[in-house]
Structures are given as C-alpha cells and as structure tokens.
Amino acid sequence: MAAAMQLNTLMSNMFATGLLDDQFQQLQMLQDPSAPDFVAEVVTLFCEDGERIIGELAKLLDKPAVDFDKVDAFVHQLKGSSASVGAQRVKNTCIQFREFCQGKSRDGCLKTLDAVRNDFYDLRSKFQTMLQLEQQVQASFYPKQ
C-alpha cells in the first residue's frame, strides 16, 4: 500500500536525519490495543505545546528588557517535552538556547529561537504527515464495507 510505504519512508528519513531519536521508538512501542492512539496523542500534544512555548519565547524576547529566567524556564520546558517525545533536533537546539539564556545574550537567544522555530516547524509538519499516513494505513486495514 502506498500509504504504508510512504509512512515507512518518512519515518526512516526522520530518524536518519536526526529529527527523531530512539525515544520516539519507545513511544511507538507503548502503543497497543489498550492505547491505540497513544502516539498520535503525544505527538499532537507536543505540537500544541511547542507552538505555544515558541510563541511565548518570541514575546519575551521581544521586550526591551528580557527576563532571561522566564525565557530559560520556557526553553527548559520545551527541552523536556522534546526529549520525552524523541524530538532530538529540537532538544539539541534547546540546549544551545539555554546557554545563551544563561549568558544573557539576547541576540544569541533570538538567533537560537529562530533555529528552534525552524526545527520545530519542520518536525511538526512531518508529524502531521505521519499522522495522516497513519490514518490512511489504518483505514486501509479496516476498509469500510
């Protein structure tokens, strides 16, 4: 089935490029009949929360006087959730981000925020594709009569 193959290719690609790490595989293993939508739920939550955090970060860094502690707190949170999901690249960018926070470098933070945003959006769109393909695969297994 085309959808299944596409999904396969997509996933391999995401792992190969370092977008995802084996933590994501752990999540996949947690999905079972008792939690059939586990991955989808986690991924969706991640996308929502990530979006929100990035928005908050942008706002904080936009102020003339940046509250680096708050920025750091948000980045910390994003780092945590990306680590839990297996979003390796986003997580690594967050690590860099925190260094700039600790150095209280606004420019550094702004630059890294851009990087985080890019990585995040990239991941998010791939996640969305993944979810769609998943649904198609599922649908093809249980075709409507």
Residue numbers of the site for other proteins (CB under 8 A)?
A: 23, 26-27, 29-30, 32, 34-35, 38, 41-42, 45-46, 49, 52, 73, 76-77, 79-81, 83-86
Token look-up 């600790």 returns: 102
Residue 29, classified by CB atoms within 10 Å of its CB into exposed (0-12), middle (13-18) or buried (19+), is exposed
Q: What are phi and psi of 32, to 5 degrees?
A: -155, 180
Of the pair 26, 135, the CB lying nearest other proteins is at 26
The distance of closest approach from Cβ of residue 24 to other proteins in the complex, given in angstroms and rounded to an integer, is 10
What's the closest the beta carbon of residue 122 comes to other proteins, in angstroms? 18
- In the bound state with other proteins, the residue whose beta carbon lies nearer, of 42 and 130, is 42
Listed in sequence order, the residues at least 6 apart from 32 whose beta carbon sits closer than 8 Å to its beta carbon are: 38
Of the pair 7, 90, the CB lying nearest other proteins is at 90
Beta carbons within 10 angstroms of residue 39's beta carbon: 20
